[in-house]
Structures are given as structure tokens and as C-alpha cells.
Chains A and B, each alone.
Chain A
Amino acid sequence: MTLRELDLLQGTLDVLVLRALAISPMHGYAVARFIRNGSDGSFKVLDGALYTSLHRMEERGWIESEWGSSDKKKRAKFYRLTSAGRRALRSETQSWNDYVAAVARVMTAPVPEPG
């Protein structure tokens, strides 16, 4: 099975976005590019869902935005983590890791011989 068709849970998308912004403040397209490159095409996020996630997290106070200009000198809206966002990222990362570890334990458990 591949993750290509996986419907990313909303919370998971939020963690990915926060993770991207933890590197440096960036505009929405840069976040999209980060996720696209990082996943190496193994799963797909609709860009619309990404922007919804950005705006909702801004409402929640995890990130804040500011208009600036891109590398190509175009006006773009840049997002930046707030300290609340940083805390959220930490706890979300932790629970993601716990989840992955749990799944991994189950997946690597020795398969009992049939019989």
C-alpha cells in the first residue's frame, strides 16, 4: 500500500505546516513546496487545504502573518510561528512520534508461525 492516496488528517497537516515554519518564516507557497519536496511525492496535499490550515492556525494564535516581498520582489504574505505555535509544534511532534513508534512496534512484531 502507498500513502499516495492517504487522506491526511487535519491535525497531521497542521503539524507539517508548523514544522515548515519552524525552519524560518515563509509564505504559503514556500510551505507547499516544503511539504511537496519533503514528502518526495509519496503523498499529496491539496494546496487549498494548506491555506485553510494556515489561516485557521493564525486564528488560533499559533502563527502570525505579515506582508513582505518574495525573492522575486513580489508582494507575498509571510507566516511566522508564535511562541504558542512553537509549543503546539513540540507537543504535536511528540504525539506524532509516539504514534509512529507504536505503529512501528506493531508492524515489526514477529509474526507467529501459522499453525
Chain B
Amino acid sequence: MKSSPPAWYRYLRFWRRDVPGDIDAELRFHFEARIEDLIARGLSPDAARAEAVEEFGDVDAVKRRLREIDERVARGRDRAEWFDGLRKDIVYAARSLRRTPAVSLTIILTLALGLGVNAAMFSLLDVIFLRPPAVVAHPDQLRRMWSEHTSSTGREFYPGYDYASYAALQAATAKQADLALYRSPESSAVSDEETAPTAMVSPVSATYFGVLGIRPELGRFFSAAEDGLDAPAAVVVISDAFWHRHFGGDPQVIGKTLTIGASQYATPALSRYTIIGVAPASFSGVDLDAVDVWRPLASTLPTIANIPWYRNPNINGFQILLRLHPNVPAVELEQRATARLRSADVGPFRLDSLGVAKLGSIIAARGPGNLTSSEQIAARLAGVAIIVLIIACANVINLLLARAVRRQREIAVRLALGISRSRLLRLLVSESLMLSLLAAVAAVLAAWWGGALLRTYLMPDVHWGESPMHWRVFALALGTAVVCGTITGLIPALQSLTPDLTSALKAGAREGVVHRSRLRPTLIVVQAALSVVLLVGAGLFIKSLNDARAKDIGYAVDRLAFVELRNGAADSATRALQSQRLLELQPQIASIPGVEQVTYASLRPLSGYSWVDAYFPEAVTSTKKQPLGIYTAVTPNFFAATGTRILRGRTFSGGAARGGPFEVIVNDAMARALWGNAPALGKCIHFEKADAPCATVIGVAQTAMLTGMREDPSPHFYVSLDHTPFANWGVGSVILRANPARMSSVLATMHTLLRAEFPTVYSRSTTMEQTMEPRYRPWQLGATLFTLFGVLALTVAGIGVYSSVSYAVSQRTHEFGVRAALGATARDVIVHVLGSGLRTVFIGIAVGVGLALAAGRLVASLLYGVKPDDPRALIASAGILLVISTVATLAPAWRASRVDPVEALRAE
């Protein structure tokens, strides 16, 4: 006879149902019992066994059948138990959350804040760094070509090439890759009327759509024949969004005409285009700024000084895209391209014969080029967002911990009644998971509009084509919520699972035993430290912003405005007439109330510059490495009006000097670059040709800002608008110096005046402040967001300190009663509580200052005029936190000092 199963078998069954084992055991018992009965009736054992089997039928078939049934039963039971457990957990969690609605709400809001900030940040980073342009075929084969330049200050990467580079590369790499060329879109008017809507127009090579592997939604894309360098076809492809916006999604749009006005800088050779195709819905170009209209390269680009655009090395804002052929390693193509570009001496290789061609991802932000400052700030802010989340989690742990301590008695009772620890743990964690899932829902909503807000705030110049939300954002929000919920639930739950049962249940222990955990002070330290880090960040960016605003950029920022004519498809003769008329209008413009001065320039400051080949016979330094042909054509009172100081010499003499010698004013940077310490006045410059007549330097102006805040002082010179040694485009901008208070009325009057004078052309105005705003934006942004996050962190930390200290005080009521009875004064008690509360904060501040110093180098490159270890920022941040913590500690300290010894002792 077989023995019964061993004892451990039961434990095995405890974990997993053993269906076949159970059936075997049941039937074994049956046979044993039956055989025993039959033997008792006088059968021999063998006969008895045979009889029992006979009576049973087909044993194996029955076993199979039973097993089928029982496994079905077991599965159903498992499922039911699981759902039942889940339901119970949810009911329990919901009930205990409802019992303390204020705490629950605080927790949900705190977590929603932390999660929302992260989801919003991530939705932005996702678009910048992770998403290749939509509908492009096999984005992994696509590359963008950069050029790498090594100088004493390090390596730099540029994405820009001229057309000659593209042509050279196309010939040299035809077997390895397909190439396309494009320029970033520029805003252009798409009709001649004054209220003309604008469109983002991007010139592209005919190969562009083919290389990207896109099929048109309607019509067709460009053919090679439409790509003529001198005589391009007047055809355009429009985006789906533009098709709907401008043509109402008209299915007959192919063959219609689109009039495109001038972009800001270039007069187009053409203006009336035939629409030949519509791009597929989600495609809006390869970069973040959405394109509305694509047109052939040549249709937008001018011939300057008889040099056609495709041979002009200064028209170099093209970017090269390429699709590698299968099995062509990127390195091989880079080497081939480098060799070809060096030998052709074109594009960026003209100035740096040691340049290297580099392939990068189609996603521009992935480099190898530098990130724009907005992208850099976005990446840093992601780090800040994580800090906010950590602080939020720390605070939630703190709140849950306080609650767990209050519930210690309940937990002890449950444990005493025999609930398993793992089940209790599950209950407690499911509670915080529920909280954080609720928070995740709130967070996704917050991220939805927060992400849109961040986009417009961080990168307002970008025309976003796509929605900020993506499944990755949802997944991240949900994933972080689950992680936070588990961690914040697990820590307090594990703490409360270790109570001493008897002491917790003892009568008199109203709130469980005094549990002197090191966890809560640690949480306070974490919160305080991270708050300090954020506050230091805020301080550094505020200082940067102030320094940037205070910088003398060479212009009277608050008093200048620029007015320009947007004269669509005007030819050069018309433009010359307009220019002349604008100059004649000076007395009328100057009489507008509020206007202090009127002056003119070929281009308004900070909007770009013109370039001419220049030769410097008396230069003492090499002129090869620096761009030295950048100029602006101005009228004599330009300097007085804009606030750019003349350091030496004088300004132009105006019309009187017509026919006399050519005059040039150089800026200080140019004077130093060319002639060192020798006097610049009287020096000679030849324009366009080395043997052209001398233009004489008559003045040295202050080095005004040319493009941005971070530029090195850039060589730049000025020529007279009405008397230059070379052709120029005439008046590009009317510059008004006006009383800031009356600026808007001045501009309105100015527009009325221009409309009367030029009925077919509309005018645009910009103030200097609007021009500077994007340049201050990195610091504005850093200051705002760091301050916002810092204040949030500070609030949360303050609440943490308050709740922590007041909890400690309530636990020690008895002790304070004894102290008071022994003669401690109220002041003694307050000092005692303040001291013990602030000790933790001090540690936090010390840690925070250390962290801030360590993290400083991460933001150093984003700051302006201030070092990341700026002592004022550190001290101010520590001070603010200390004040807030003191305030948060004073209330419970005062309460401690009011403890009535008699009552405190009687209560025990």
C-alpha cells in the first residue's frame, strides 16, 4: 500500500493548486478502500484489485476527464479570487482616502503637479529629440550633413552649405547616396493686399520629396525640369494644412495660382505660382517650424552684383539632406564628401580648409551641432521637472507617513486579528497607487495644456505642426505615476508594519508608540536641499536677465521702432523710386507728435546684414579668418538717432559730399581686427575689387550688437545710403526714435501716412523691444520657470517642515508638560522646538548648497554675466529657505510653549 503524501506536499499546495495530484490522491483512496472492503468479504488481494478496477471503468479516461473539469474550476476560482481581492483593495483604499479628504486632495494635487510638470516637459522633449518628421520613409537611412571645424576654442558644427557644395557633393557621391537641398522656411505674404495672410515658404531642390520618400496627397511633386537654376518653373507644392487654411480643402486646387510676396530679405524673381501638388497631411517639413509652401530653389533667390545665387558663396543658408544607399557606411560617405569639399574649396571649406563633413540624424536637435539655447533650456528644465517630482514624492511620503502613524493602532489591530503582512502591504500600497493614478489623470490633463503653454513660451517662433501628445507621453505619465505610487506607498507601509504589537495596543497609547524614525527628517533634508537648488537656479537666471537687459548693445532699446514696406513683387526700379520717396518724406515723418528723430538704413539693426567683398591694403593682421565684409548703409543721423556712439572721427557729411571721396565708418571691433592699435581714421578700403578706388575711414563707431547677446564683438562697417562705392538696395527700413510713451500712436500715424503715399503696398513695423525680446528670452524663461518651480518647491517644503514639527510637538505634549512643570519658560520651549526643527533644515541647506555648486556647471553655459557659484544667489536662497522654515516652525513651537502642565500630565 502506498503511503500518504509527504508533509511538505501541503505547503506546495498552499502556493499552487495541484490538480493532477489531487485527482490521483482521491482515486487512490477510492481503490484502497474498495480493495480493503472486497478483501474483507473474502477475496484474494489480486482478485479484489481486479474487481475494483473492473467496477471503475477506464481509469485513464476518467482521470483525463476529471482533470479537464478541475482545471477549469481552478482557473475560474483564481480569477474570482483575484478580482475579489482587487475589489476589496479598491473599496478599502477608497474608503480610507475618503476618511481624510483634505490629506488625499493635497497628495493628489502635489503628485499631479510633479507628474504634470514632467509630462509637459517630456511632451516637448519628445517632439524636439525623439520624433523624426512624420510620414518620411525609413528615417533611419536619412542624414543631415554638417561641417565640423576645429579651432583653439574647440570643435564647432555648422549645418549651412552653399549651392556649389551641394553640386560638388552630388557629383562625387552619386553612387552612395541621394541628395536634396532645402532652406528653412521664411514668412512671406501670399497676396498683395494689406491684410495679406502670410505663409512659411521653403525653397527646396526638386529631389527633396523623392529623397524623403513621400507621396503627394494630391497632384505631383517637382520634376527635375522645374529645377532650372536660372529659369525655374513657377510652380509650388502646398502643405495639407495650408490647403485647408487657404483653399478650404478645395479638391480642384491643382492648377490654381498662388501669389507669393517678398520674404523679409529677398525680392523674389517670380510672384505668381501654379500649384502642382499637395503634400500628405502630417508632413510639414523636416524641421520643427512647419512649412506651408515649397517652391523651387531658384525662384526665391536673387542675383546680387551680377553673381547668380548658385555661384554666390555668401548665400550659404542651405541644408543638405541625404538618403544613404543600402550598405553604404556613413563613415565612407563622410570621407568622400570631406575630400571632395576640400578640393573644391567651397562652402564652409573656403574659410577652413581643414573642415570635415559630418553626417547627423535627420532630427536636427540630435546634433552633432549645438543645441539652440531654447533646446538647451528645455533639456535642463527636464532635470528641474524631475527635481520637482522628487520633492513632490518626498512630501507625499511625509503625508502618508503621518497618516500611517495615526493609523498604527488600526494596523496593529488588523495584524493581531491575523491579516497577513503581505496582504496588509498590498492594501497600503494600493491606496497610494490609487492616489497616484488619480494624480496621473490630472497630470495628463495638465500636460495637455501645460505642454502647449510650454511650447509657445519656450519656442514661440516655431510653427508647431503636430500635437504635443503622443502615446509615449501617456506611457511616461502612467509609468511615473505607478513608480511614484509604489515608492510613496511602500516606504510608509514598511515603516508601519514593524510596530511592537503589544505597546501599540496598550491602553493609553492614543496614537501608537512614539516612533522616532530617521525617515521624516531625511525627507525634510531632501526637500530643503532641492528647494535650495531651484532657488539658486532662479537667482542665477534673474541675475543673468538683469545683466543682459543692462548691457549696452549700442542702441536705445526703449526708444526705437522700425517701419518697412512689404512691397511684394516690386522690381528694382520701383524699389529705387520707393526708396527715394521715403527719404523725401523725412520732414513729414519727423513732424509726427512724439517722434524725436527719423533716420534710414538698408536693413534694420539685428535683422541681418549685407555683405560685400572688401580689401584692406593697410591691414596689420590676417584678414582670412574673419568675415570682414559685413555692412549697413545708413544716413548721416543714423548714429545720433539709434544711440550708437561715434568713438572717434565723425559721421557722414550727407548729400554735400556727393561726387567726393567715398566715406566709411568702421566699428571698434573692425578697427582693432584690421589695424590693431594704429589709428583707423584715414585708412583705405577697396570694395568689390582689390584695385577699386579707395574708400576712406572717417569715423569709428561703438561695436553695436549685430545678431545676438552672446556674439563676440563683430567687425561691421557703415556706408552712406546715398553715396556708396557699390550698388545697394536703398532704404530697407525707416528708423524712428520716439518717446516710448507715445510709440503706438506714432506707429499708427506712420502707417496712415505710408498708406496714403504708397496705396498698393502695405507697411510693417517692429519696435526695438520686440526685436530684443527673443534675445532676452533664454534668461527670461529660465528666471520665470526656475522661480515658479522654486516657489512651488518652497511651499511644499514649508508644509513639510510645518507638518513634521507640529507632529513631533503633538507627540511630545507630555514631555513639554513635564518641562513646564519643572520650570521651563515659554521662551525656553520655543527656542528648544525651533532649534530641533531648524537643525534638519540647516542640514538640508548645506546639502542643497553643495548640490547647487555641483550642478552649477550644467547651467553655466546658459547664464549671462554671472558665475554659477555666485555667492549672492547661494546666500539669498539659503536665507529665503531659512525664513520660510522659521515661520513654519514658529506656530507649533508657540503651541508647545502653551502646554498646560496640569492638563498634559492628567491626560496620561
Q: Which residues of A are at the interface with B, using a C-beta cutoff of 8 A?
A: 27-29, 32-33, 44, 46-49, 51-52, 55-56, 58-59, 70, 74-77
For residue B637, give the distance in angstroms from its CB to the closest CB of chain A.
101
Contacts of A70 in B (CB 8 A): 29, 33
Known contacts A47-B57, A48-B56, A48-B61; is A27 also within 8 Å of B69 by CB? Answer: no
Q: Are B25 and A75 in contact (CB under 8 A)?
A: yes
B62 at interface, CB cutoff 8 A: yes
B26 at interface, CB cutoff 8 A: yes
Known contacts A27-B29, A46-B57, A75-B25; is A52 also within 8 Å of B34 by CB? Answer: no
Q: Are A51 and B72 in contact (CB under 8 A)?
A: no
Q: Are B34 and A51 in contact (CB under 8 A)?
A: no
Q: Are A28 and B30 in contact (CB under 8 A)?
A: yes
CA distance A36 to B175 in the complex (A): 92
Known contacts A46-B56, A74-B4, A75-B4; is A51 also within 8 Å of B26 by CB? Answer: yes
B870 at interface, CB cutoff 8 A: no
Q: Which residue of A lies closest to B55 (CB)?
A: A47
Which B residues, 45 to 73, have Cβ-Cβ distances below 8 Å to chain A? 55-59, 61-62, 65-66, 69-70, 72-73
Interface residue from B58, B59, B73 paired with A59 (Cβ < 8 Å): B73
Q: Are B55 and A29 in contact (CB under 8 A)?
A: no
For residue A115, give the distance in angstroms from its CB to the closest CB of chain B.
50
Q: What 1/0 mask marks residues of chain B from 66 to 98 whose CB sits below 8 Å from any chain A CB?
A: 100110110000000000000000000000000
Q: What 1/0 mask marks residues of chain B from 672 to 714 whose CB sits below 8 Å from any chain A CB?
A: 0000000000000000000000000000000000000000000
Interface residue from A47, A48, A76 paired with B29 (Cβ < 8 Å): A76
B32 at interface, CB cutoff 8 A: yes
B891 at interface, CB cutoff 8 A: no
CA distance A74 to B3 in the complex (A): 10
CA distance A37 to B673 in the complex (A): 121
Known contacts A46-B56, A59-B69, A74-B4; is A51 also within 8 Å of B33 by CB? Answer: no
CA distance A55 to B26 in the complex (A): 11
CA distance A85 to B662 in the complex (A): 115
Known contacts A55-B70, A77-B25; is A46 also within 8 Å of B55 by CB? Answer: yes
For residue A111, give the distance in angstroms from its CB to the closest CB of chain B.
39
Interface residue from B5, B26, B58 paired with A48 (Cβ < 8 Å): B58
Q: Which residue of A lies closest to B30 (CB)?
A: A29
CA distance A56 to B68 in the complex (A): 10
B27 at interface, CB cutoff 8 A: yes
Contacts of A76 in B (CB 8 A): 26, 29
Contacts beyond the supplied A29-B30, A52-B69, A56-B69: 7 A-B pairs with Cβ under 8 Å: A27-B29, A46-B55, A48-B57, A49-B57, A52-B65, A55-B73, A75-B25
CA distance A44 to B56 in the complex (A): 11
Contacts of A51 in B (CB 8 A): 26-27, 30, 62, 66
Contacts of B30 in A (CB 8 A): 28-29, 32, 47, 51
CA distance A77 to B29 in the complex (A): 9
For residue A80, give the distance in angstroms from its CB to the closest CB of chain B.
15
Q: Which residue of A lies closest to B29 (CB)?
A: A76
Q: Are A48 and B62 in contact (CB under 8 A)?
A: yes
B22 at interface, CB cutoff 8 A: yes
CA distance A29 to B30 in the complex (A): 5
Q: Are A55 and B66 in contact (CB under 8 A)?
A: yes
Q: How large is the interface on B (under 10, 10 to 19, 20 to 34, 35 or more residues)?
A: 20 to 34
Q: Are B29 and A29 in contact (CB under 8 A)?
A: yes
Which B residues, 15 to 53, have Cβ-Cβ distances below 8 Å to chain A? 22, 25-27, 29-30, 32-34, 37
Q: Are B29 and A75 in contact (CB under 8 A)?
A: yes
Interface residue from B26, B32, B65 paired with A77 (Cβ < 8 Å): B26
Contacts of A75 in B (CB 8 A): 4-5, 25, 29
**Which of B30, B34, B56, B57 has the most A CB atoms < 10 Å from its CB?**
B30
Known contacts A75-B29, A77-B26; is A48 also within 8 Å of B59 by CB? Answer: yes
For residue B463, give the distance in angstroms from its CB to the closest CB of chain A.
64
Q: Which residues of B are at the interface with A, using a C-beta cutoff of 8 A?
A: 4-5, 22, 25-27, 29-30, 32-34, 37, 55-59, 61-62, 65-66, 69-70, 72-73
For residue A98, give the distance in angstroms from its CB to the closest CB of chain B.
30
Contacts of B56 in A (CB 8 A): 46-48
CA distance A80 to B767 in the complex (A): 91
For residue A4, give the distance in angstroms from its CB to the closest CB of chain B.
14
Closest 7 CB pairs of A and B: A48-B57, A48-B62, A46-B57, A47-B56, A29-B33, A55-B69, A77-B26
25 contacts between A and B (CB under 8 A): A28-B26, A28-B29, A29-B33, A32-B34, A33-B37, A47-B34, A47-B57, A48-B56, A48-B58, A48-B62, A51-B26, A51-B27, A51-B30, A55-B66, A59-B72, A59-B73, A70-B29, A70-B33, A74-B29, A75-B29, A76-B26, A77-B22, A77-B25, A77-B26, A77-B29
For residue B3, give the distance in angstroms from its CB to the closest CB of chain A.
11
Interface residue from B5, B22, B25, B62 paired with A52 (Cβ < 8 Å): B62
Contacts of B73 in A (CB 8 A): 55, 58-59
Contacts of A74 in B (CB 8 A): 4, 29, 32-33
CA distance A32 to B58 in the complex (A): 16
Q: Which residue of B lies closest to A58 (CB)?
A: B73
**Which of A27, A32, A51, A59 has the most B CB atoms < 10 Å from its CB?**
A51
Contacts of B27 in A (CB 8 A): 51
Q: Which residue of A lies closest to B5 (CB)?
A: A75
CA distance A46 to B32 in the complex (A): 17
Q: Which residue of A lies closest to B68 (CB)?
A: A55
CA distance A32 to B55 in the complex (A): 10
For residue B2, give the distance in angstroms from its CB to the closest CB of chain A.
11
Contacts of A58 in B (CB 8 A): 69, 73
CA distance A41 to B37 in the complex (A): 16
CA distance A70 to B62 in the complex (A): 23
For residue B161, give the distance in angstroms from its CB to the closest CB of chain A.
76
Q: Which residue of A lies closest to B13 (CB)?
A: A67
Q: Which residue of B lies closest to A52 (CB)?
A: B65
For residue A25, give the distance in angstroms from its CB to the closest CB of chain B.
15
For residue A54, give the distance in angstroms from its CB to the closest CB of chain B.
9
**Which of B33, B55, B57 has the most A CB atoms < 10 Å from its CB?**
B33
CA distance A55 to B55 in the complex (A): 19
CA distance A115 to B126 in the complex (A): 102
For residue B14, give the distance in angstroms from its CB to the closest CB of chain A.
12
CA distance A75 to B7 in the complex (A): 12
For residue A20, give the distance in angstroms from its CB to the closest CB of chain B.
15
Contacts of A28 in B (CB 8 A): 26, 29-30
CA distance A44 to B57 in the complex (A): 12
CA distance A33 to B40 in the complex (A): 14
For residue B25, give the distance in angstroms from its CB to the closest CB of chain A.
7
CA distance A84 to B799 in the complex (A): 58
For residue B81, give the distance in angstroms from its CB to the closest CB of chain A.
15
CA distance A20 to B22 in the complex (A): 22
CA distance A40 to B55 in the complex (A): 15
CA distance A19 to B726 in the complex (A): 118
Contacts of B26 in A (CB 8 A): 28, 51, 76-77
For residue B74, give the distance in angstroms from its CB to the closest CB of chain A.
10
CA distance A28 to B23 in the complex (A): 12
Contacts of B25 in A (CB 8 A): 75, 77
**Which of A27, A29, A76 has the most B CB atoms < 10 Å from its CB?**
A29
CA distance A74 to B29 in the complex (A): 8
Contacts of B5 in A (CB 8 A): 75
Contacts of B32 in A (CB 8 A): 74
